Amino acid sequence: MKRNLTLALGMVVIFALAVGVLMTVMPSPHKPTDYLVMGAVGTLLCLLLLFVVLIKAATKPPGRKPDSDRPA
């Protein structure tokens, strides 16, 4: 549960940062298509983060039991 919450918060932060940076970089006044592009780039970065985390979780070796639980 904690990993899901961390991932969701990370995605929200990435989206907000991407949109904030694009709002300052793109010249004003913003047209509706500018906001569309900002949202699309933010969404793309969030999906990229999601897929990177899922791929890393899938390629991680399975967890081992601690040595104290193994028979001697």
63: amino acid identity, one letter: G
Residue 60: predicted pLDDT: 77
Considering the domain boundaries, does residue 11 fall inside one?
yes
Residue-level pLDDT at 3: 82
Q: How many CB atoms lie within 10 A of CB 30?
A: 13
Widest pairwise Cα distance in the chain:
72
- How many whole angstroms separate alpha carbon 63 and alpha carbon 60? 9
In a domain, 64, yes or no: no
pTM for the whole structure: 0.74
Q: Return the CA Rg of the chain.
A: 19
- Within a domain: residue 59? no
Domains contained in the chain, number: 1
Q: Kindly state the tokens that stand for 67.
A: 């040595």
Does the structure show a pLDDT above 90 at 2? no
**Other CB atoms closer than 10 Å to residue 4's CB: what's the count?**
8
In-domain check, residue 58: no
The per-residue pLDDT for range 16-44, each reduced to its tens digit, is 999 999 999 999 999 999 999 999 999 99
Residue 7 lies in a domain: yes
The string of pLDDT tens digits covering residues 36-65 is 999 999 999 999 998 998 898 888 777 666
Is 60 a domain residue?
no
**Residue 44 lies in domain:** 2-53
